[in-house]
Amino acid sequence: MDSNNLPQAVKKLFGLLHERKIAYLLVGGIALLQYIEGRNTEDIDLIMALSSLKELPEIRIHDQNMYFAHGEFDILQIDVLLTENPLFKKIQQEYVTTQQFFEETIRCATIEGLLLLKLYALPSLYRQGNFARVGLYENDIATLLHDHHPPIAPLLAELGQYLTASDLKEVKAIVADIQRRIERFERGHQSHENKGQNST
């Protein structure tokens, strides 16, 4: 991706979305940049309806299934999460805020919305044996929980409507492990700070 042309391509994309009054929600790595330092991606991830996607012939679709589509717009790689998935639809409608991105005001997922998407994806990533993406997603979840402290119990209850019982159990176990990691980190950080204070 030519980073010099990135702002123009992003501005053009969101300009089309706004001009055609298309309901969308920014998710994925670019959305995470609004909440996590250092997180980056070359993809634009959007939630939208299939009918809306058809109003954007400028996005060249390469792969598509019931819930996902992948394509290109100018120099941008575009991943679309389709609202045919009921959880994606709920997040697009209810877990929304606005952010400034390349001088554009965009509809962006909230922290809770991003957590729901990451947690929802984990069981499938484990089944695929995608170790790198599992690590990335779990780190995103851990960083959001550590930095922003959103209540996790309501999100797990929400996921119970969209995951099988076995997948929900796995997600709860992952969250418990992440919370233990955060607690270990905070204890270690506090201990280091205390040692620093005692030595002065």
CATH number, residue 18: 3.30.460.40
pTM: 0.90
49/128 same-domain check: no
End position of a domain, from candidates 59, 76, 109: 109
Structural domain range at position 138:
113-198
End position of a domain, from candidates 83, 109, 135: 109
Per-residue pLDDT of the chain (200 residues; tens, 9 = 90+): 455 677 788 889 999 999 999 999 999 988 888 888 766 666 899 999 999 999 999 999 999 999 999 999 998 999 999 999 999 999 999 999 999 887 788 999 999 999 999 999 999 999 999 999 999 999 999 999 999 999 999 999 999 999 999 999 999 999 999 999 999 998 886 766 666 565 55
73/144 same-domain check: no
| Number of domain units in the chain | 2
118/181 same-domain check: yes
126/58 same-domain check: no
Question: 């005001």: which residue's tokens?
Answer: 105
63/141 same-domain check: no
29 in Cβ contact with 43 (< 8 Å): yes
What is the tally of helices (H) and strands (E) in the chain?
Answer: 8, 7
Q: What angle (nearest 5°) sits at the alpha carbon of residue 78, between those of residues 76 and 79?
A: 155
Whether 88 is in a domain gets the answer yes
Identify residue 188 by its one-letter amino acid code: G
124/103 same-domain check: no
